[in-house]
Each structure stands twice: as structure tokens, then as C-alpha cells.
Amino acid sequence: MNLLAKVVLALLMFMTINSHALEEPPGTQSQEDADLYIEKLRLERLEGVDPLTFSSVLKGIGKSWEDALVFLPGKYFSTSVSKVNLDKKYPVVIYLHGCAGIVPSHDYGWAKEITKHGFIVVMPNSFAIPNRPSNCDVTTATTGFFPSAHLIRIGEIAYAYQQLSKISWTDMNNIFLMGFSEGGVATARSEFKGFNGAIIMGWTCTNGIFIPKKTPVLAMAYSDDRWHPLGSPWYGKCSDRSQGRDNVTQLNFVGTEHQTLLAPGAIAAVDKFLLDNLKK
């Protein structure tokens, strides 16, 4: 099965699940609901439905790539994928923004920090997809307005990876995945192989970590994040839901913030994680 088929199958499986299990954070979902969600995914995989029948699911996802922001080492301003012309290969970080879209003060900041170490950062723009509404209200820290956003974000990951494999400046031995908030959900739920490491920010991995077990994970969030308050089903840490993995590093920051760029030690941890998992 080729990558495109796998993308459609992944999207199809998510579509068959009740929308309340796809919210970020998962609304009033209980742990029992979460367990049912995981079981539903497992059963759907076993059914082996032909995914190519549902290729229309991917319609529009390509726009997230076409309108992606690309941050290059040594360059202050971002550019587009079509305008990048380089004569050597670079390690690449696919960075997924949150439910509010690309936020310059946070997302640009992360990209510029990462490019200092010789990485290219590609930031797909989910809201470039036609008729793609937001799944959240940032003023009230509530979600669930467009649960299908999570289908789209999984597709964006696979589409971006597929496109990078066709580009001469991509070092396919050094591809990383990094996501914030809604993008962190997609990162945690991505089952695609081929990433040197995955960085989950602003999410607590309520339904677990689906990334292949050999892939190292760095997770970071504030312990009292207003999106994941104490007493809610999504309170906690990714490391507590790592299903026995021994390669998950968790950073828990004190406070109620959601964005991670300015958290103490966050930049240093990301730098170390990327460089430690870079194949020479």
C-alpha cells in the first residue's frame, strides 16, 4: 500500500469514530470513552477496507502544502516551498500549528530557533484548505466546533512528508515532526514511519501516543494549562500515557500558559532533542 493510500485509510478510520472522541481537548470525554476510541481504531484497521475508494477525503489538503511557510537557515523571513532553491540537502522539521492557525509570536519563534542549527522548518497552513473552519475558540479555551479538523491534520503530515520526498534539498534521513496544541494532537496520533523524532507541545496525549515505538518523543506542556485544567479527562502528561515506551522525555512547566516557546528550558530541550537524533 503506497503512502497516499495509507493517508486515506487513516482519515477514513478517524471519520468512522464519533466526533466527540476527536475533539481537542476531547470535551466531556471520559476515560471509558477514550478506551472505546482506541478499540474502535483497532477494529477498523483489522477490517482492511480498501482506502482508495475514499480518495476524495484528501481533496484540498494539498493547499496546506502549497501555502506552507518555509524557514531557512540564515534567513530572517519565511518563503514558500515553490521558491526554495538550494544546492544541498538539509534536515527538515515539519511543524504543525495549533487550532488558531499560524501565530507569529509563537510559531515563527520556534521556527527561527530551530533554523539556527541548520534545519529547514516547513509549516503547512491548515487554514489554506478551502472551507476549513477552526475547531476552537481561543478566547474561551473551548474546542469541538469542527472535529474533522483532526482528520485534516493527519493528512497534512502525510502529504507534507510525501512532497518532501520529491524535493532535492530534503535529507530524507533526517525528517522530524513537531506540533503545537491541535498540531500536537496530530503529532501524537500520527502512525507514520520515517521520522527521526516527534515533539508534542501543549497536549497531554489523552488517547495515547500512536507514533511508532522506535521513534523518540519529546513532550512539553504547562502542568496547569488552561486548556487542560485539573480535574478534566485530558489533564496529565504524555509520559503517563506512553504505553510502556522508554523513549519519551517529558517537560512539565509550572503555570497556566499554553504556548511553550518562552517556557524555561524549552528551547534548549528542543535543540538537544533534534541534534541528539540527527543522523550524520
pLDDT tens digit at each of 280 positions of the chain: 555 455 544 544 443 333 323 333 333 334 454 445 445 545 555 565 333 233 434 578 899 999 999 999 999 999 999 999 999 999 999 999 999 999 999 999 999 999 999 999 999 999 998 878 888 888 888 888 877 788 889 889 999 999 999 999 999 999 999 999 999 999 999 999 999 999 999 999 998 999 999 999 999 999 999 999 888 888 999 999 998 899 999 999 999 999 999 999 999 999 999 999 999 8
Report strand pairing: 69-71 vs 120-123: antiparallel
Interatomic CA distance for residues 197 and 123, integer angstroms = 17
Please give the angle made by the CA atoms of 94, 179 and 267, to the nearest 5 degrees. Answer: 90
What pLDDT, on a 0 to 100 scale, did the predictor assign at position 7?
A: 52
Grid coordinates representing 38 are 482506541
For the chain, domains (ranges, CATH) are 3-276 (3.40.50.1820)
Number of CB atoms found within 10 A of residue 279's CB: 8
One-letter-per-residue 3-state SS of 54-80: HHHHHCCCHHHHHCCEEECCCCCCCEC
What pLDDT, on a 0 to 100 scale, did the predictor assign at position 6?
A: 53
What pLDDT, on a 0 to 100 scale, did the predictor assign at position 202?
A: 97
Number of CB atoms found within 10 A of residue 235's CB: 16
Interatomic CA distance for residues 270 and 11, integer angstroms = 29
Interatomic CA distance for residues 186 and 79, integer angstroms = 24
Grid coordinates representing 122 are 516547513
